[in-house]
A = this chain, B = another copy of it.
Amino acid sequence: MQEITGHRLPVLAVDIGGTKILSAIISSEGEIITREYRLALADEGPQAVINRVLLAIDHTLDQSNMELCDLDSISIAAAGAIDYEKGIVTLSPNLPGWRDIPLRDMVRERFRADSWLINDANAAALGEHHYGAGRGVKNLVFITVSTGIGGGIIIDNRLYSGTSGSAGEIGHTTVDINGPRCSCGNVGCLELLASGAAIAREAAKRISQGDRSSLSEIMAGRIENITAEKVSLAAQSGDSLALEVIAVAAGYLGVGIANLVNIFNPEVIIIGGGVAKMGDLLFEPVRKEVSERAYQLAAQAVRIVPAQLGEDAGVLGAAVFAFQQGSG
């Protein structure tokens, strides 16, 4: 058991995603003292993003009138596979060019402060476990469904990160052996069938084929105008194409989650990420698939619930990770 015990100084936590960088100062009670966003502009490559991360740390300190000596440590969550022992981002599908970047020690050396590095979905799992939808739960799986699909696993109240830091790659499990080919090299991956990108792509494809939808005008002949969020809005207004597309994606998600339920027999599955904001449109078909597909005892034992911390889950979890490292 790794509990956060006693009074501790706050952690400066940074969450590096493919789109933006969120930095925050977080108390040992899980209170966000200050937060700021900036664009990641990940296409500019690793060094440019790293410079922005260092700048974000400086600026967050300034903004809060804090010094490094007022902090417990600096903790970074990054969208990529992590070598936890060495503190390295091994590679990242969402941060182009990132390969074997020793980010933990770069931060440690630049600021002369204790620092930590964790995968972003793993961090969100820890955040939800400690402060969100997974409080008090011993075994859970967190799934983030946004542009892609990722995950994090908590077993016996601890993050399980696997042998080379890539446990929880739920998005690239096969749900349809005859499905389309994924950029990861596999076929019929969950991410390819149930992510936000999949929802947007499928809606745009059907509109291009001439299916009627209130989204046709929004698309105006440009596929990139269709996003999962817009499909969700259309579905909420009763657009039948949008409803169908979401139901199909949610069905696939249900298959992937039923597999997790069979394998892990967890107490709770938490779904976060932008697509989870669809609410019952997503959760009802997912729960139905799981109750129909998963092994009866495991299906009865699991609760499938929305995440509670939104975009703060990553920084909160990065802070939990730092507090646990310090007390471990």
Which residue from B91, B172, B187, B265 sits with its C-beta under 8 Å from A164?
B265
A248 to chain B: closest CB distance in Å? 11
Interface size (A, Cβ < 8 Å)? 55
* Cβ–Cβ < 8 Å partners of A173 in chain B: 258-259, 262-263
Quick one: copies of this chain in the complex?
2
CB neighbours of A295 from chain B (8 A):
81, 166, 169, 172, 184
Contacting residue for A293 out of B139, B158, B174, B258, CB 8 A = B174
State which of B169, B255, B265 has its C-beta within 8 Å of the C-beta of A265. Answer: B169
Q: How far is the CA of A185 from the CA of B160 in the complex (A)?
A: 30
Kindly report which residue of chain B lies nearest to residue A140, judged by CB atoms: B163
Asked if A263 meets B260 with Cβ closer than 8 Å, knowing A164-B298, A174-B255, A176-B177, the reply is yes
Is A165 close to B, CB under 8 A? Answer: yes
Within 8 A of B (CB), among A268-325: 292-298, 300-302
Alpha-carbon distance A293/B168, docked complex (angstroms): 15
Q: Which residue of B lies closest to A81 (CB)?
A: B297
Closest residue of B by beta carbon distance from A188:
B177
- Indicate if the CB atoms of A185 and B292 lie closer than 8 Å: yes
Let me know if A180 is at the binding interface, CB within 8 A: no
A163 x B260 contact (CB < 8 A): no
Q: What string of 1s and 0s marks CB contacts (under 8 Å) between A186-210 and chain B?
A: 1110000000000000000000000
Give per-residue flags for A143-167: 1 if the beta carbon is below 8 A from chain B beta carbons, else 0: 0000000010101101011111111
- Complex Cα–Cα for A140 and B193 (A): 29
Docked CA distance A262–B188 (Å)? 14
Q: Which of A235-263 contact B (CB under 8 A)?
A: 252, 255, 258-260, 262-263
**Which among A175, A255, A262 has the greatest number of chain B C-beta atoms within 10 A?**
A262
Our pick among B90, B252, B293, B298 for the contact of A297 (Cβ within 8 Å) is B90
In the complex, residue of chain B having the shortest beta-carbon distance to the beta carbon of A158: B156
- Chain B contacts for A292, CB-based, 8 A: 185-186
Residues on B with C-beta less than 8 A from A186 are 258, 292-294
Known contacts: A139-B162, A295-B184. The answer to whether A170 contacts B301 by CB under 8 A is no
A162 and B259 in contact, given A177-B176, A293-B187 (Cβ under 8 angstroms):
no
Known pairs A176-B177, A255-B174; A297 contacts B263 (CB<8 A): no
Set of chain B residues within 8 Å of A293, measured between Cβ atoms? 174, 185-187
Enumerate the 3 nearest inter-chain pairs by beta-carbon distance, A residue then B residue, closest first.
A162-B265, A167-B265, A173-B259
Beyond the given pairs A156-B158, A263-B263, 19 more chain A to chain B contacts, judged by CB atoms under 8 angstroms and listed by A's residue number, are A81-B297, A138-B163, A139-B160, A155-B156, A162-B301, A163-B267, A163-B298, A165-B297, A166-B262, A166-B265, A166-B301, A169-B295, A170-B262, A173-B259, A173-B263, A174-B259, A174-B293, A177-B255, A178-B178
Show 23 residue pairs from A and B whose CB-CB distance is below 8 angstroms, ordered by the A residue: A81-B295, A91-B297, A151-B263, A155-B155, A155-B156, A156-B156, A156-B158, A162-B301, A166-B265, A166-B297, A167-B264, A173-B258, A173-B262, A174-B175, A174-B259, A174-B293, A176-B176, A176-B177, A184-B295, A185-B293, A186-B293, A186-B294, A260-B263
